[in-house]
Amino acid sequence: MVDQYVIAAALAGVAWGALAGLFVHRWWYRKRAAAQRQTTVDAQSTALAQAEERHAAEVRQHEQQARELHALVDTLRDDLAQQSVSAEEAREALNALHLQKDEWLQQATRLSTEAGRLRHLSATFERWHEQMISLMSQNHDMHAKNNELSSIVRHVLIVSLNASIEAARAGAAGRGFSIVASEVRSLAARSQELSKSYHDSLNRNDLITTATFQDIQAGGKMIAASLASVEALAGQIQSRLEQATT
């Protein structure tokens, strides 16, 4: 019988313990759940507040964007108005250009014709060239004549020398003649100097004449080549203007 009481008491103790434990557990659990619920509520409040704040910010942003869009629309409206004006001006300018194009085409045609005409300048250069040949051949003649003169003068010198010798042989009778011979000799010497100087002048003349006329001949070709380029360019402008369609 004692055992039964002991066991019953033990059992009861255990039961009370368990119950107490259960109550404590449940109380602690409820307290914790409440705390958790409070935390959740707090968190949700914060989240809500944040959400409201974000929402407000978005609304402000949207309002801002709306304002910007309105401003943009106004700007576009102004641009469109301006561009209509520009389009009108461009149309007028295009009409003016068409008129100008016709004018330019006429000018280009005239330019082309003129350049083509000037190419025949080469005929003038040919004339100059013929005259140069004629001048050079005259120079050549002068050289020949000068050489002949030179040889005559040399001959005169020899003759005058011989004359002096003869005059000396004739003694007193030949003195007058000797003076003449001596004068002839000095004249011949001067002629010889002149002839030599003339020879130098002819050479100088030859070189400068040749150089000048070659410059004219070469220069003429340079001009003809340049004019041919101009004519070609003018022709190109002409054909491009003719091709340009309305």
Partner 1 sequence: MISQQAKDSIERIFLYSARTRLPVDSSDACDITALDAQQANTALASHIVVLTISSIAFRFLLVLHFNDDQATRDYYLRESEERSLAEALMEVGNLCCGAINQQLVEFFPDLGMSTPYQLSGACVPYLTELKPGYLAAFRVSIGANVQLGATLCICASSPVDFVAYVNEAEESTGELELF
Partner 2 sequence: MAKVLVVDDSSTVRDEVAGFLRKNGLDVDTAVDGKDGLAKLKASPGIRLVVSDVNMPNMDGLTMAEKIRGELANASVNIIMLTTESSPAMKERGKAAGVKGWIVKPFKGDAVLETFRKLAS
Region from 9-17, 42-50, 89-97, 220-228 binding partner 2, contact rule CB under 8 A: 220-228
Residue 122 found at the interface with partner 2 (CB under 8 A): yes
Q: Pattern 32-61, binding to partner 1, x per CB under 8 A? A: ------------------------------
Cβ neighbour number for residue 196 with a 10 Å cutoff: 13
Q: Pattern 126-155, binding to partner 2, x per CB under 8 A? A: x--xx--x----------------------
1 SS3 class = coil
Q: Which residues of 111-125 are buried (b: 16+ CB within 10 A; e: fewer)?
A: bbeebeebbeeeeeb
Residue 121 found at the interface with partner 1 (CB under 8 A): no
Question: How many angstroms from the chain centroid is the CA of residue 2?
Answer: 127
- Cα separation, 174 vs 142, in Å, equals 39
Assess contact for 192 and 154: CB atoms under 8 A.
Answer: yes
| CB 220 to partner 1: min, Å | 7
- 223, 233, 237, 241: which one binds partner 1 (CB under 8 A): 223
| CB 228 to partner 2: min, Å | 5
Residue 226 found at the interface with partner 2 (CB under 8 A): yes
Residue 136: CB partners within 8 Å, gap ≥ 6?
206, 209, 210, 213
Task: Provide the token pair at 229.
Answer: 């380029």
Query: Residue 107 or 209: which CB sits closer to partner 1?
Result: 209
- 12, 219, 239, 240: which one binds partner 1 (CB under 8 A): 219
Query: Got the DSSP string for 136-176?
Result: HHHHHHHHHHHHHHHHHHHHHHHHHHHHHHHHHHTGGGGHH
Partner whose binding site includes residue 211, from partner 1, partner 2, none (CB under 5 to 8 Å by kind): partner 1
- Contact residues for partner 1 (CB under 8 A)? 136, 199-200, 203-204, 206-208, 210-211, 213-215, 217-226, 229
